Amino acid sequence: MRFSLGALAALLPLAAALPQITRTGKYLYDPSGTRFYIKGVAYQPQGNLAVSTTANEANGGFPEPSDFVDPLSSAANCTRDIPHLKDLGVNTIRVYSVNASLNHDSCMSALDEAGIYVLLDVSLPLNGSIDRASPSWTTSLLNEYTRTINAFNKYPNVLAYNIGNEVINTVNNSNAAPFVKAAARDTKAYLASINSKALVSYAAVDTDLEFRNALADYLTCGNDSVTVDLYGLNNYEWCGQATYANSGWNVITQGFSNLTVAAFMSEFGCITAGPRQWSEVSAMLSQPVSDVFSGGIAFSYFPTSDNYGMVTFGSDGTTVNSDFTALGRAYSNATGPNSPAQSSQSNTALECPPVSPILAASTQLPPTPNEEVCNCINKDALSCTAIPATANNPIKVGALINQACGLLAQTNSTISCNAIAGDGQTGTYGPLAMCSPNIKLNYVMSAYYDANPVATSCDFGGNATLSTSRECPLSAAAAQSAAEACLAGKPNTFTPTASEAPATGSASPSSPAASSSSSKPSAGRVGALLPTSSVVTLFLGAVGLFAGAAVVIA
C-alpha cells in the first residue's frame, strides 16, 4: 500500500514542534530538564565514489562520493521510510549531504511530526569540506555552510549541524585541526546571530588511544565560543558478544571522561561480522558509558556496498533485514538514566593541550574568512584572472595554483605563494589563506605576471586573461598599495553574515531518486592545493599587513 506524504502526516499524532534540545555541561537536556539520548541511524543514500588523489592518500585520505543524493528533498522517499524509522524507534537521523537549493519542507515536517530530529552535516563531498591534505578555512566553505544553515534554520527538529566527518585521522594531518576549530567558532557565531539554538558537532575517526584523546581534548578545549557542543566518535569495535570490558569501550569512555561537552557515537555498529546484535546499545544507554556519552547513530539505514544496510528496496516495497529488527529491539529495550540533573551542570572550559608529537595543532586559529577583503583585493589589486570556465572547475583551479606557484618560485621575485597558505601546526596564516581557491589562483597568477610583465605571463594555457576592469594592469607597487587599503583595520574574528552567492566548488547533487544505496562517508575532500608546511609571509611583501591574523583559543 502506498501513502502520500499528506496521508502519512494525517496518520501521525498531531503535536507541536519537537522541543529544543540544549547542552548544559557535558550532557543534553530537553526543556523539562530530562536528559536526552540520541537513538539514531545514519540516513544517506550512496553517491558515486571518486578516486582519491595521491596527495589525499598520502595524508590519510579515503575515496569519497563525487556526487550525492539528498535524502531530505524527496517526499516520496520520506513517505516510504518514515514508518520504518518509527519502527526502529529512532529519535534522530544523521544526514551527510543535502542540496541547500532544494525544498525540504515535506520531509522535515513529516520527520518532526514523527518525533525525529536531524543531525545534519553541512560539508559536502569533494570541494565542499575542509581538505585534510591541504587544510584551509575559506570564504567559499563558510558560505557553503551558511547556505545550508539558512535552508534548514526554519525547521525546529534540527538537532545539530556537523561541521566535519573524519577530517583529521592521523598525526600527519592533525595540522587541519585549527581549521576545523575555526569552522566551529564561526558556525556557532553565525547560529547565534540568527537566533538558532541548534548545536554544533564534529565526528572523529576512531584511532589509537593517545591520538584519539588528544584530538578530542583539542576540539573541546577553550571557552564555549570555540568548542563544538557535540563531539562524535565513529566506532565499529563492538562486535558479537563483546562486553564493555573487552570491546575497547571501557578505554574510550575513560579517555573521554574529562570532556566538558557532550559526546556521542556518531557512527557505530560492527562491520566485520554479521548479523549484528547491537548489544552495544544497552551499554551505551547505561552507566558507566552514559556518564560520558549521550547515545549514538547506528550505521546505516540504506544498503551499502559493504553490507552495512538494514533495508532493501524492491518492486514489492521495502524489506527489512535482521540488523533492522535487532536494532529496533535494542532501542526499545534501552532507556538512559535521567542523571545528573541539569541544575547540577554548567559549561566549563578545558585547558588546551600544547603542540606535541601526538597532535601537531596550534592553539592559534585562522581568522574568520572575510569575503569583503577577498573581493576587494581581487577587484583592486590583481591584474591576471582566471576565465569563468576555469574558475568554475575546482580541480583545474588547484592544478593551476600549483603550476603558478612553481613558476613564481623560479623567478627572482620577493613575492611568494606563502600569502595564500596557512600552517595549522605553527598557527601562521597568510592574509589570503581565507580566500576562495579562485581568488588564490588570481593572486598567484598576478604575482607571476607582475614579476614577468609580458602578455604570455598571463595566459596559463588559455586559462587566464589580463583584467579588463582597468586601462592597464597595476604595477606590483600599486597592487601592494591597493591590498593595504583592502586589509587595513579589518578584525581577525567577527560574526559572519549570510551569502546568497551560488555554491562553488562542491560536488553535484544527484536526483533524490537516483540511488538507493549508501556508503560510509569521509569528509577530507579529494585534491590538494598547496602544502601547508610553508612559512607564511604577507601579501605582496607588505610587511605589517594583517598583523596578528591568528586567533588564540581562549
Residue 45: name the closest of 102, 109, 111, 93 by CA: 93
Task: Read off the pLDDT of each residue in 296-315 and give the average, rounded to a whole number.
Answer: 91
pLDDT level of residue 341 (50, 70, 90 thresholds): very high
According to the model, what pLDDT value does residue 473 have?
61
pLDDT at position 455 is 85
The CATH-assigned architecture of domain 5-344 is Alpha-Beta Barrel (3.20)
- Residue 537 pLDDT exceeds 50: no
For residue 503, pLDDT over 50 is answered with: no
DSSP 304: B
**pLDDT above 90 for 354:** no
- Is a pLDDT exceeding 50 seen at residue 500? no
pLDDT surpassing 60 at residue 342? yes
Residue 49 has pLDDT above 70, yes or no: no
**pLDDT value at residue 34:** 98
Given a cut of 80, whether residue 61 has pLDDT beyond it is: no
Q: What is the per-residue pLDDT for 307?
A: 78
Q: What is the mean pLDDT of the chain?
A: 84
- The set of cell numbers assigned to 207 is 584511532
**What does the pLDDT read at residue 526?**
25
pLDDT at 448: 93
Q: Are 34 and 507 in contact, with CB atoms under 8 Å apart?
A: no
Q: Is pLDDT above 60 for 501? A: no
pLDDT at 139: 95
What is the separation of C-alpha 537 from the centre of its chain, rounded to a whole number of angstroms? Answer: 28
| Range with lowest mean pLDDT among 154-168, 182-196, 515-529 | 515-529
Question: pLDDT tens for residues 521-535?
Answer: 333 322 222 322 232
463 vs 477, which has greater pLDDT? 463
pLDDT of residue 470: 55
Element at 408 (helix H, strand E):
helix 394-409
The DSSP annotation for 46-57 comes to --PBPPPPHHHH
For the segment 70-111, what is each residue's pLDDT rounded down to a tens digit? 999 999 999 999 999 999 999 999 999 999 999 999 999 999
Question: Among the options 113, 144, 267, 371, which is catalytic?
Answer: 267
CATH 1.20.58.1040 boundaries in the chain: 371-489+524-552
Q: What is the pLDDT of residue 239?
A: 92
Does residue 323 have a pLDDT over 90?
yes
H-type alpha helices, 452-503: 476-487
Is the domain spanning 371-489+524-552 CATH 3.40.220.10? The answer is no
pLDDT beyond 50 at 6: no
Which tens digits make up the pLDDT trace of 394-440?
Answer: 889 989 999 999 999 998 777 889 999 999 999 999 999 999 999 99
Output the nine-digit C-alpha cell for 548: 596578528
pLDDT band at 48 (very low <50, low <70, confident <90, very high): low
Rounded CA-CA distance 109/12 in Å is 11
List, by residue range, all CATH 3.20.20.80 domains of the chain. 5-344
Q: Supply the pLDDT for residue 44.
A: 93
pLDDT band, very low/low/confident/very high, at 219 (cuts 50, 70, 90): very high
Choose the weakest-confidence range: 325-334, 460-469, 473-482, 484-493: 473-482
Residue 498 is predicted with a pLDDT of 75
User: What pLDDT is attached to residue 65?
Assistant: 52
SS3 annotation, 84-138: HHHHHCCCEEEECCCCCCCCCHHHHHHHHHCCCEEEEECCECCCECCCCCCCCCC
pLDDT at 273: 77
Residue of 166, 210, 371, 484 with catalytic role: 166
372 is catalytic: no
| Arithmetic mean of pLDDT, 357-382 | 93
Mean pLDDT over 14-43 rounds to: 91
Dihedral sign (CA 333, 263, 184, 202): negative
CA distance to 208, 264, 311, 321, 488, per residue, from 204 (Å): 12, 10, 26, 28, 38
